[in-house]
Each structure stands twice: as structure tokens, then as C-alpha cells.
A = this chain, B = another copy of it.
Amino acid sequence: MTDTLRIDGRTNDELRPITIERGWSEQAEGSALISYGRTRVLCTASFTNGVPRWMAGKGKGWVTAEYSMLPRSTNSRMDRESVKGKVGGRTHEISRLVGRSLRAVVDMKALGENTIVLDCDVLQADGGTRTAAITGAYVALADALAWGRDKKFIAQKAQPLTDSVSAVSVGIIGGVPMLDLAYTEDVRADTDMNVVVTGRGKFVEVQGTAEAAPFDRSELDTLLDLALAGAITLTEFQNAALEA
């Protein structure tokens, strides 16, 4: 891989500085303030004993997520979706992605009839907000599950987490595949892909989009290699945060 110098001096296969402040919120059952460079997402996990009525009596739990951006998380202010009176398509789409990604590593039987809502609020946005949301939400989720076990809402022997999960973006810019795109890189990308990977290295989601030019099989392969390598590092950050 060519080693084009990126705007912030990173190599093409290098993540931005990652930090995870576990337990940032004192009110939630689990929380993490995660940053991928300047991108900062506050992830909280809310644990509720019980499930929605339509799910009750099946001995299974539920995990869902909501993603949102503060109006001035971005470079120019956006109108609030609450003021516009509806949730936009992009917000909906990312909320669904985050929810699916976390559910992929939860055994709903082991969770029992409990509900966890993951809120991912972007405080500052500089590209990769959905991937940071997934990586941070996993840490919040793990703590909320520990809380639920402590409170006896989850059986002592149950293992609701089947794996860990993290996410990262990759893309092709000027013909060069790169890992973890910052906003200025993202807008110039020909192809942009978000990859959600488990701690064991399996895929949960692969979402590749040709923004400017369709991509071929070999480009796809290179992007997946970059993403899998990045996910290994992200998993280490998650583990370090959870062991702290």
C-alpha cells in the first residue's frame, strides 16, 4: 500500500487517536464518551427490566439504539430534528445500523426479558460518527449488562454477550484505500465503506457505497483488509476500557 501522507499525518492504514471515557454519565447503567480524533460520541445504555408488551412471555430480551447529532456538532449548524418534527432518513438509517450491530453480539435468550436502549449522541462530528457510535455503544452495553447481572435481572450463569463488536470506515480517495476517514477525507472519497466486525474477526455489516465511481472486486478486497486490521486495534481499546 502506498504511504500517502494524510492531512493529519497518518498513514493510510492508521486509525485516528482513539479514547474511551467509560462511565462518563453518572445516571446511565452503562456509558462511554468515545472519540475517534475530533469525532466525539456520548453513548449511554439504559437497562429496563421487562420488554415491550408484544414481546412479553417469550423469555427473550431486546436491544435497540438511537443515534442523533447535536445541532452544532458539525461545522455549520443543522436544524434540530425535534424542531423539524421528524427524524431524517440518515438518522433513522444509522440508528437501525447501530441497533443491528449490537444485537449481533447479544444472545437474547441469555439476556432474558430485559430491554436495553443505546443512545449515541454525537457531541462533535468529524467523520466516522456511526462507527464511533457502535464501538462506544459496545462498552456502554457491556457495563449495562454487568449492572443487570448485579441487580439479578440477568441470571448468574447467563452469558448475554457472545462476542464484542466494533466498527470503522474505510474508503478510496484519489485511488488510494484508506482507513478511518476524517470528514474532509470522506467528502472526497470515491467509495466509502462502513464495516462492523466482531472481536473474533467476523463481519456483522458491510456497507459499501460508490459515492463517485463504482468499485471492482479487488478494491473491495483491499478495503475489507484495512477494516479488519483496524477492528483488531479498536477491540483492544474496548478491552482496555472495560478492564480499567
Contact in complex: A89, B82 (CB < 8 Å): no
Q: A73's contact among B27, B104, B204, B207, by CB below 8 Å, is which?
A: B27
- Copies per assembly: 6
Alpha-carbon distance A203/B223, docked complex (angstroms): 13
User: Cβ of A205: which chain B residues have Cβ within 8 Å of it?
Assistant: 207-210
Contacting B at CB under 8 A, from A187-209, are: 193, 198, 200-209
Query: From residue A66, how far is it (CB to closest CB) to chain B in Å?
Result: 6
Q: Which 5 A-B pairs have the closest CB atoms?
A: A89-B92, A202-B214, A81-B82, A44-B72, A46-B77
Q: What are 14 A-B pairs at a CB distance below 8 A?
A: A25-B123, A27-B75, A44-B70, A46-B71, A68-B82, A70-B121, A71-B117, A81-B82, A85-B86, A193-B206, A202-B210, A202-B214, A206-B206, A206-B220
